[in-house]
């Protein structure tokens, strides 16, 4: 027993030292891992890094498929390894519902407006044509278009950049008197310089600079194929966790039989590097097992539960910051798609209730609220405490609401009257 304990301690010490010595290898994403190893290769003539990523990737995905390509089994393979980013049209279609679009006619007009929105997020169609199509006035169509000011991405559906920024202002949370000044500056954008003498001019200009132009700029960015470190497979027999070995680089040591201090040093460094690579795999594999244990319901279609880095750090006998580095830039692929490993570590109100659950409850409660008497943050707090059996403070509810870009009760009441 003593011998086993001694061996265990020695092995643990060796791995810990290796982990500290080669922390960049643990921290690098799978796509950057080979580049990280190549940096060591340049300094070591007795090791060679052989790319698993390059050969595997080129074997499955051709440049034609990556950048052009018709839909095929190869393009579907790329989609399987891509973190899905919804298009602007998918995002908009999901938001066409009450209370913004409470009638079938308003929904139909909204869909027609979406059809005329370009990839940058600007409305490029003709209001008169849509009005004629539905037998309503142009002003009615414009009224519905202006409701897009409350959709995501902020600014979508605007006619031009100044109006897109006005739309974004509606959701910005900027308070008076800056709000009114920004509004005036955007409404007279061509002569914005005339406001220079205003006391709040610089503050207003700072707000304007935060607005996105074009409004759909984030959806314009091409999705980059993501290679996951972990593959989680759910079957009728259980859940399997596997390291995505196929894309890992290999390190080969080239020994020439020369017994020289320099040679011995470089060969030892190469072997330490192999140990570090194995440590990376073992660490991520164990983290994967623990994620599956903590988040078992998620892999069967449920929600992500609160999970703290501290929980895993204690199992590894490491500092939470080390675990944070280990999961940074790492992805996990399962039946539900590809997810950043960090997304499984959500803060929680308590051990059973995650912030995501609270936010979803707030969203649903506001979506079904009485428009004549919108729910105050205090009322939402009471509902949350009754629903989840937790204790919170009102400012937490306010913070979550603002994070989701939902206006306060008085702002929503004004909006409902407008709508």
Dihedral angle sign, alpha carbons of residues 388, 391, 396, 398: positive
155 and 271 in a common domain? no
230 and 201 in a common domain? no
pLDDT tens, residue by residue, 402-414: 878 788 888 888 8
pLDDT score, position 149: 93
Range of the domain at 380: 355-418
Domain closes at, from 220, 253, 274: 220
180 and 244 in a common domain? no
Does residue 205 have a pLDDT over 70?
A: yes
Provide the number of structural domains found in the chain: 3
Dihedral angle sign, alpha carbons of residues 5, 6, 7, 9: positive
172 and 135 in a common domain? yes
Residue range 285-298: mean pLDDT, rounded = 88
Lowest mean pLDDT among 11-20, 116-125, 237-246, 264-273: 11-20
Band of residue 297 on the pLDDT scale cut at 50, 70, 90: confident
pLDDT tens, residue by residue, 15-52: 445 545 566 777 777 777 888 888 888 888 888 888 76
Rg (CA), the chain: 28
Provide the whole-model pTM. 0.46
212 and 103 in a common domain? yes
Instruction: Establish if 152 belongs to a structural domain.
Output: yes
377 and 307 in a common domain? no
For residue 393, give every residue at least 6 positions away whose Cβ sits within 8 Å of its Cβ, in sequence order, or none: 381
- Between 318 and 215, whose confidence is greater? 215
Across the chain, mean pLDDT equals 78
161 and 94 in a common domain? yes
pLDDT tens, residue by residue, 141-170: 999 999 999 998 899 999 998 999 999 999
pLDDT tens, residue by residue, 319-356: 777 777 778 778 888 888 888 888 787 655 554 556 77
377 and 328 in a common domain? no
Domain closes at, from 172, 204, 220: 220
């Amino acid at each position: 027993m003593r011998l086993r304990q001694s061996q265990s301690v020695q092995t643990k010490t060796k791995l810990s030292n290796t982990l500290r010595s080669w922390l960049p290898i643990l921290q690098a994403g799978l796509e950057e891992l080979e580049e990280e190893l190549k940096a060591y290769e340049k300094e070591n003539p007795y090791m060679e890094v052989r790319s698993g990523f390059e050969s595997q990737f080129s074997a499955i995905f051709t440049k034609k498929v990556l950048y052009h390509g018709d839909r095929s089994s190869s393009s579907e393979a790329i989609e399987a390894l891509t973190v899905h980013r919804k298009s602007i049209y998918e995002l908009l279609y999901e938001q066409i519902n009450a209370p913004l679009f409470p009638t079938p006619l308003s929904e139909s007009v909204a869909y027609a407006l979406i059809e005329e929105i370009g990839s940058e997020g600007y409305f490029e169609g003709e209001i008169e044509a849509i009005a004629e199509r539905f037998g309503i006035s142009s002003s009615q169509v414009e009224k519905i278009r202006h409701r897009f000011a409350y959709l995501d991405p902020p600014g979508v559906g605007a006619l031009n950049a100044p109006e897109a920024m006005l739309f974004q202002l509606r959701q910005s949370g900027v308070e008076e008197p800056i709000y009114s000044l920004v509004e005036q500056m955007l409404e007279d954008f061509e002569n914005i310089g005339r406001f220079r003498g205003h006391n709040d001019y610089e503050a207003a200009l700072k707000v304007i600079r935060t607005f996105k132009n074009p409004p759909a700029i984030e959806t314009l960015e091409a999705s980059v194929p993501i290679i996951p470190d972990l593959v989680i497979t759910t079957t009728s027999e259980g859940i399997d966790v596997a390291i995505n070995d196929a894309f890992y680089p290999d390190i080969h040591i080239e020994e020439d039989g020369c017994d020289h201090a320099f040679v011995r040093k470089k060969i030892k460094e190469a072997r330490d590097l192999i140990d570090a690579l194995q440590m990376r795999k073992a660490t991520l594999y164990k983290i994967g097992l623990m994620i599956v244990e903590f988040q078992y319901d998620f892999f069967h279609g449920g929600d992500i539960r609160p999970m703290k880095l501290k929980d895993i750090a204690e199992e590894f006998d490491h500092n939470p910051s080390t675990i944070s580095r280990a999961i940074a830039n790492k992805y996990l692929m399962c039946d539900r798609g590809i997810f950043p490993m960090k997304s499984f570590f959500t803060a929680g109100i308590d051990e059973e209730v995650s912030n995501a659950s609270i936010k979803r409850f707030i969203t649903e409660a506001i979506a079904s609220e009485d428009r004549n008497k919108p729910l105050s943050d205090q009322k939402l707090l009471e509902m949350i405490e009754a629903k989840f059996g937790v204790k919170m403070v009102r400012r937490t509810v306010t913070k979550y609401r603002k994070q989701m870009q939902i206006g306060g009760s008085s702002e929503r009441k004004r909006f409902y009257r407008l709508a």
